[in-house]
């Protein structure tokens, strides 16, 4: 075993996969539950999917239920998604289904990759490629470089479609709107800001508002609430899973 071989093999594998993803069908920004579910279902259909996550650990906000307690609540409608990702659950007397949040996070990450999605961590999407009034890809940088505010130029990934799955931050849509004189597909033409907590309409809203917000740019998961001015829902996760599934169905149609 030679040290040089270890280093060479790591670098070769990493850069081969990254080079192979410089043009892709779909870039999903954010590896939370909605992005992972969407990525898994799209990849399963043979669509090339690149998921970019700025943190070291993918999974977003599902590593804990409310206040970091271990169990996440999911409603009945989302059970097929849990089953498609081989995640176990049990019915509670409330009629909700309880999932070990660590199994949920790790199961969605593992499932998305096993289904064929390319998931890169420690990459932050800092901007978009905007061509002739259409989003055509993302501008990426190393998360550590951005944390330290190093003056390092970014790289780019071209994509047929980009998805903002960045959660509360709605980072991609916010950047598009802040930097460009564009009218989004929202009632005000701008991101509308998330409202306070009201679980039931929030869960419906997150699915309803999973859609194209600007040509080439879609939203799913919690960022739909921030973009379309909907309620937050607290620690119930069925809407996130179903939003990811709906997004995959829309893009499968577009790409076929």
Smallest distance, ligand FAD to C-beta of residue 166, A: 4
Judged by beta carbon, residue 33 or residue 107, the one nearer ligand FAD is: 33
CA angle, 157 as apex, 41 and 151 as ends, to 5°? Answer: 130
Cα 46 from Cα 123, distance rounded (Å)? 24
Closest to ligand FAD by CB, 3 or 148: 148
CB of 157 to ligand FAD, least distance (A): 12
Q: Which is nearer to ligand FAD, 35 or 107 (CB)?
A: 35
Contacting residues toward ligand FAD, per CB under 6 A:
29-35, 52-55, 60-62, 124-125, 165-169, 171, 221-223, 234-235, 240
Between 8 and 108, CB nearer to ligand FAD: 108
To the nearest whole angstrom, how small is the minimum distance from the Cβ of residue 15 to ligand FAD? 20
Q: Give dist(CA 155, CA 93) in Å, integer.
A: 51
- Could you give the CA distance from residue 89 to residue 24 in angstroms, rounded to a whole number? 34
Which residue from 171, 40, 55 is spatially nearest to 117, judged by alpha carbons?
40
Least distance in Å: CB of 6 to ligand FAD? 28
CA distances from 4 to 11, 17, 30 (A): 11, 20, 33
What is the closest distance, in whole angstroms, from the C-beta atom of residue 186 to ligand FAD in the complex?
A: 17
Question: Nearer Cβ to ligand FAD, position 3 or 153?
Answer: 153
Q: Can you tell me the distance from the alpha carbon of 188 to that of 79, in angstroms, rounded to the nearest whole number?
A: 35
Q: Do 240 and 104 meet the contact criterion of CB atoms below 8 Å apart? A: no
- Which three-class secondary structure state does DSSP give residue 155? strand
Backbone angles phi, psi at 211, to 5 degrees: -165, 180
- Nearest approach, Cβ of 2 to ligand FAD (angstroms)? 35
User: Nearer to ligand FAD by C-beta: 12 or 162?
Assistant: 162
- Report the distance separating Cα 256 and Cα 96, nearest Å: 36
């Amino acid at each position: 075993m030679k040290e040089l071989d270890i280093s060479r093999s790591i670098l070769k594998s990493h850069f081969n996969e990254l080079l192979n993803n410089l043009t892709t069908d779909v870039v999903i920004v954010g590896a939370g539950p909605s992005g992972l579910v969407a990525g898994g279902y799209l990849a399963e259909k043979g669509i090339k999917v690149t998921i970019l996550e700025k943190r070291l650990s993918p999974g977003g906000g599902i590593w804990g239920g409310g206040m970091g307690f271990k169990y996440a609540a999911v409603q009945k409608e989302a059970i097929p998604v849990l089953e498609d990702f081989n995640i176990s659950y049990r019915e509670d007397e409330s009629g909700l289904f309880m999932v070990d949040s660590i199994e949920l996070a790790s199961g969605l990450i593992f499932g998305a990759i096993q289904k064929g999605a390319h998931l890169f961590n420690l990459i932050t999407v800092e901007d978009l490629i905007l061509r002739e009034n259409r989003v055509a890809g993302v501008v990426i940088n190393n998360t550590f470089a951005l944390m330290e505010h190093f003056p390092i130029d970014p790289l780019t990934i071209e994509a047929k479609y980009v998805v903002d799955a960045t959660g509360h931050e709605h980072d991609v849509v916010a950047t598009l709107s802040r930097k460009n004189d564009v009218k989004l597909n929202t009632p005000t033409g701008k991101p509308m800001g998330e409202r306070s907590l009201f679980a039931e309409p929030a869960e419906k809203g997150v699915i309803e508002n999973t859609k194209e917000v600007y040509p080439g740019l879609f939203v799913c998961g919690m960022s739909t609430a921030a973009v379309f001015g909907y309620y937050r829902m607290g620690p119930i996760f069925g809407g996130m899973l179903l939003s990811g599934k709906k997004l995959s169905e829309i893009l499968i149609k577009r790409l076929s």
